[in-house]
Amino acid sequence: MEIAEGGVTAPLGFRAGVAECGIKRSGRPDLAVIVSDIPASCAGMFTTNRIKAAPVLVSKEHVRSGTARAIIANSGNANACTGEKGIEDAVAMAGETARLLKCSPHDILVASTGVIGRHMPMEKILPSISRAVKGLSRDGSEDVARAIMTTDTKLKEAAMAVDIAGTRVMLGGVAKGSGMICPSMATMLCFLTTDADIEPPALRRALRKAVSTSFNCITIDGDMSTNDMVLILANGRAGNPTIRTRSKAFDVFSEALDELCLDLSKKIVRDGEGATKFITVTVKGALLEDDALKVGMAVANSQLVKTAFFGEDPNWGRIVCAAGYSGVPIEETNLSVCINGISVFEDGTARNVDADNLRRSMSQSDITIVIDLNMGTEETRIFTSDLSYEYVKINAEYTT
Amino acid sequence: MEIAEGGVTAPLGFRAGVAECGIKRSGRPDLAVIVSDIPASCAGMFTTNRIKAAPVLVSKEHVRSGTARAIIANSGNANACTGEKGIEDAVAMAGETARLLKCSPHDILVASTGVIGRHMPMEKILPSISRAVKGLSRDGSEDVARAIMTTDTKLKEAAMAVDIAGTRVMLGGVAKGSGMICPSMATMLCFLTTDADIEPPALRRALRKAVSTSFNCITIDGDMSTNDMVLILANGRAGNPTIRTRSKAFDVFSEALDELCLDLSKKIVRDGEGATKFITVTVKGALLEDDALKVGMAVANSQLVKTAFFGEDPNWGRIVCAAGYSGVPIEETNLSVCINGISVFEDGTARNVDADNLRRSMSQSDITIVIDLNMGTEETRIFTSDLSYEYVKINAEYTT
C-alpha cells in the first residue's frame, strides 16, 4: 500500500467536472459530477438522523442495485426539510445527469450540503449540470473537492495505490466537512472511487468497515447532519481478478480503503470549525467495543474538555467526569488517564504531575488522550478538535 | 402559595453561617453551614455520574436514615477523584460539624464544589467550621448563597409560603450553578429547608418530583458534574399536622416545592456561563415522556442551536436536525416548530416566514422554542442558555 497523488480521478476510468450554478454567493463552483466511464459497483453509508435530506433518500434507493455510473453533488443548499418537492428536485438532478450520460437515472447518486429548509433553485441547477458534464476531465478531482467545500478552509482529497494479486489498483477520494453553509448544518460528504474489480457485497462490507473506524469516529461538535453520506464507485478498470469477501485480496483492498477513509476523516477534523488542536482520544480496556465508543464520544464531545484544550489548561478532571457520565458502568478505582503520554490519573488516584511540563505539552497542536478503563480488552480511537472563540463566531453569524 | 423573602433561613428553626477558609483565592467565604435547631426529616438527590465525589458518597449514606441536623458545604475544591483520603476528609468534615452541634456525624450532610483531583486542605477547613458554627444566624441565608458561588455571577435564593391545613409553612432554598471553579467542573448544588412537618417518605417523593421537572430539566453545556446534589431538611417547626403521601396536604406541599425548585433552577440557567439568552424548549406530542425529554435535551445541548441563538440567527433547520438525531423515532412529516410563537416548520413543511420579523424577535433575551412531534400526548419543558464567546473564555482559562 502506498500513498498516491490526486483524488477521485486517480483510479482509471473516472472523470470529474464542476460548474458554478450560483447557489453559493461567492460565485465559486458549487456543483460537481464524478463519472465512471463504465458501470461501476457501488456502495453507500448514510446519516442515521431521522430527518434525512431528499438526496439521502434518493441515493439510498439508487445504491441498492449495487451498480452506478456517476455522482452529482451540490453545495450551498442541503435540500433537507423540503418535503415532496425536495424529492422531486433530487430525482430531477439524477434524471438530467442520466440524460447527459445516456444511462438510467437509477445509476446516478445525488448528494447535497448547505442550508436546511430551502427549495433548490432548479432553474439554476439543471442547466449547470450539462456544463459540468461538458467539462469532465481526468484531472477534475481537485475542482470537485473545492466545489463541495462550504466553510471548509482546506480541500480534502487523497489516493492510495495497492497491489492486488499482481495488479496495481488505485483508490481515491474527496471529502468535505467541518463546514456549515452560510453557516448552517455541518455536513460530512465523502466520495470514493476505485478501479478495483470488486463485487458489490464485498464493496459494501469493506466500506462499512472503513467508515466504522474513520468517519464514525470523528466529531467536531456532536451535531449529526441530515445530509451525511459516504459513496464509493468501483469500476474494475484495473483488471484485477474480481475481489470477493473472505479472500486475501479483500483484506488487502479493505485495508487500503481503511487508510484512505482514515486519512480523509482526519483531514475533516484538522479543518474543524475554529479548531486549533487535533485531539486523538483512545479508550482501551473496555468490556465492549461500544462502551469504548461511548466513553470516547462523551469525552470528545464534552464542551468542558474541548474548551480546556483550547485554553491549554491541564484540567484532566473534566476528562474523568465526562467518562463518568458516558452511560458506561466504569469504575473510578480502575480508571487511568494519560495526556500526551503523561500519566495524570492512575487506578483512581491523581498523580503528582509537573503542571508546567503538562501545560507545555498541551501547547502542541496534536494532543493524545489515553483512557484505560481496565475492565476488558476492547479499544477504540476517536478524533476531535477543540472548542474555540472562532467556532462560536462561525456559527453565530446570520444564515440570511 | 406565595413567594416570600429570603432563602434557607426563611423557615422557622433554621440558622446558617459561613467562614473563609482560604480555598478560594479571592479570600471570600468558601465554607457554609446550614443547621436545623432540632432534628429534621431529610431527603437528597445526587449526581448519576459514575464518578462521584467523596461528599456525594458520604451524603448518600447519611441521607438514608431520613433524618439530619445540618449541611456543611465548601466551594473551591470538589473533593472528587481523591480516593480513600477524599472519603476520610468528607467524613472528618461531618465529624467536626457534629462535634460542634453535639449530634451524630450521620446527621450531617456534606457537599463540595470546585476543582477535581485535589485533596482538601483539611488544616484550613476544620478550624473554619467552628467559626461558621459560631456565626450561625437567622439571617445567614444570603451569606450561604454567596459562599457556595464559584463562577456564578448572581446569588441564588428563593422562598415560598404555603398554607397547609390552616398552618403557614415556609420553604426556602439556595443554589449554585453555571459555575466552574478556577474554572473547573460545573456543579449544581441546591440546599432546601422547610419548617413543614413531613414524613421522610413523603419528603423524598416530593423532592424527586420537584427535581424531575426543574434541576433535571436544565442544561448549560450538557456536562453532568461529579458533585451535583439537591438536599432538603424539614424540621416540622411550623406545627402543621404531619404530611403523609397521598394526601391533600402532600399535594399542596409538593406543588410549593415544585415552584421553589423551578425558580432556583431557572436562576441557574439565567446565570449560565456566558449566557445572553434564556431559552425554554417545550416538546409536546411525544409518545413517551422520556421521548420528549430526549428531543428537548438534544435541541438544548446542540452547539449549533445554541450558537445560532447567540447570533440571533433564525436558522431553525438546526432545531429540526437535532430533534432528528435525538434517538427518538420522530417523523418529519408530523413535525412542527415554533420560535417565539412564530411557526417556522409545520407538518414537515417550511413556512414562509418574514425573516426580519423572526430575527427581531430573536433579539429578546427570553426565547421559546416549541416542538410538536404530533405523535402522542406527552410533553416536557427544558431550560437552557445560548453558547457565547464568553462561555469559551471562562472555560479556556487555566485551572492552575
DSSP letters for B216-258: GGEESSS---SS-EEEEEE--TT-PPPB-SSSHHHHHHHHHHH
CA distance B384 to chain A (A): 15
Residues of A in contact with B398 (CB under 8 A): 311-313, 359
Backbone phi, psi, residue B328, to 5° = -90, 135
- Chain A residues in contact with B352 (beta carbon < 8 A): none
Residue A312: its chain B contacts at CB < 8 A? 398
Count CB neighbours of B154 within 10 A: 11
Q: Which three cell numbers stand for residue A4?
A: 498516491
Instruction: Report the number of distinct structural domains present in chain A.
Output: 2
Contacts of A378 (CB under 8 A, 6+ apart): A284, A285, A286, A287, A288, A289, A291, A292
C-alpha cell at B228: 451535583
Q: How far apart are CA B309 and CA B361, in angstroms?
A: 11
In sequence order, the 6+-apart residues with CB closer than 8 A to the CB of A80 are: A51, A52, A53, A54, A86, A112, A116, A117, A185, A226, A227, B317, B321
Same domain, B298 and B204: no
Same domain, residue pair A212 and A180: yes
Single out the residue in A219, A245, A270 at which a domain terminates.
Answer: A270
**Which residue of B115, B395, B398 to mutate against A (max A Cβ within 10 Å)?**
B395
Same-domain status, A314 and A244: no
Crossing angle of the two packed helices B317-324 and B303-310, in degrees rounded to 10:
160
- Residues B153, B65 share a domain: yes
Domain boundary among A270, A299, A327: A270
Model pLDDT, residue A178: 63
Top residue of B46, B50, B302, B332 to mutate, by most chain A CBs within 10 Å, is B50
Question: Which pLDDT tens digit goes with each residue over B41-77?
Answer: 999 998 888 888 999 999 999 999 999 999 999 998 9
Task: List the catalytic residue out of B9, B187, B193, B219.
Answer: B187
Q: How far is Cα A291 from Cα A133, in angstroms, rounded to an integer?
A: 46
**Quick one: B250 and B332 in the same domain?**
no
Helix (H) or strand (E) holding B344: strand B342-346
Judgement on whether residues A218 and A336 belong to the same structural domain of the protein = no
Q: Which residues of chain A carry a pLDDT beneath 50?
A: 179-185, 398-400
- Quote the minimal CA–CA distance from A9 to chain B in Å: 33
Is residue B144 a contact partner of residue B18, using CB atoms and an 8 Å limit?
Answer: yes
Tell me if A394 sits within 8 A of A151, measured CB to CB. yes
Distance of alpha carbon B198 from the chain centroid: 22
Select the residue of B82, B301, B396 nearest A311 (Cβ to Cβ). B396
- On chain B, the residues whose CB falls within 8 A of the CB of A398 are 311-313, 359
Q: Give yes or no: residues B206 and B333 share one domain.
A: no
CB neighbour class for B26 (10 Å; exposed up to 12, middle 13-18, buried from 19)? exposed
User: Which amino acid does the sequence have at B64?
Assistant: R
Q: Choose one of B238, B270, B302: the last residue of a domain.
A: B270
Closest CA to B306 of B284, B343, B278: B278
Q: Which three cell numbers stand for residue A159?
A: 489516493
Residues B387 and B353 in one domain: yes
Write out the residue range of the structural domain in which residue A212 sits.
2-270
Q: Does residue B353 share a domain with residue B296?
A: yes
Respond yes or no on whether the N-terminal peptide bond of residue A314 is cis (omega within 30° of 0).
no
| Structure-derived torsion over alpha carbons of residues B293, B299, B301, B305, reported in degrees to the nearest 10 | -170
Q: Are residues B66 and B27 in the same domain?
A: yes
User: Rg (Cα) of chain A, in Å, rounded?
Assistant: 22
* Predicted pLDDT at A180: 39
DSSP string, A187-212: --EEEEEE---B-HHHHHHHHHHHHH
C-alpha cell at B140: 445567614
Q: What is the pLDDT along chain B (400 residues), one digit of tens a residue?
A: 899 999 999 999 999 999 999 988 777 899 999 999 999 999 999 888 888 899 999 999 999 999 999 999 999 899 998 999 999 999 999 999 999 999 999 999 999 988 888 899 999 999 999 999 999 999 999 999 999 988 788 899 999 999 999 999 999 999 888 643 233 335 688 899 999 999 999 999 999 999 988 888 777 666 677 888 889 999 999 999 999 999 999 999 999 999 999 999 888 888 877 888 999 999 999 999 999 999 998 899 888 888 888 888 878 888 998 898 888 999 999 999 999 999 999 998 889 888 889 989 989 999 999 999 999 999 999 888 888 877 777 777 644 3
Q: What is the pTM of this model?
A: 0.81
DSSP conformation class of A158:
E
Closest partner CB to A303 (pick from B223, B388, B397): B223
Alpha carbons B80 and B114: distance in angstroms, whole number: 9
Q: What pLDDT, in 10s, does the model give residues A149-188?
A: 887 888 999 999 999 999 999 999 998 886 432 333 356 8
Instruction: Look up A226 and say whether it is catalytic.
Output: no
Alpha-carbon span A89 to B203, nearest angstrom = 59
Same domain, B196 and B337: no
H helical segments located in chain B: 54-63, 83-101, 122-134, 141-147, 200-212, 248-270, 289-301, 303-310, 317-324, 355-362, 389-396
- Residue A248 sits in the same domain as residue A223: yes
Residue B119's CATH number: 3.60.70.12
pLDDT at B136: 98
CB within 8 Å: A350 and B82: yes
CA-nearest residue of chain B to A54?
A: B332
Query: Between A and B, how many CB-CB pairs are < 8 A?
Result: 228
* Cell numbers standing for residue B241: 399536622
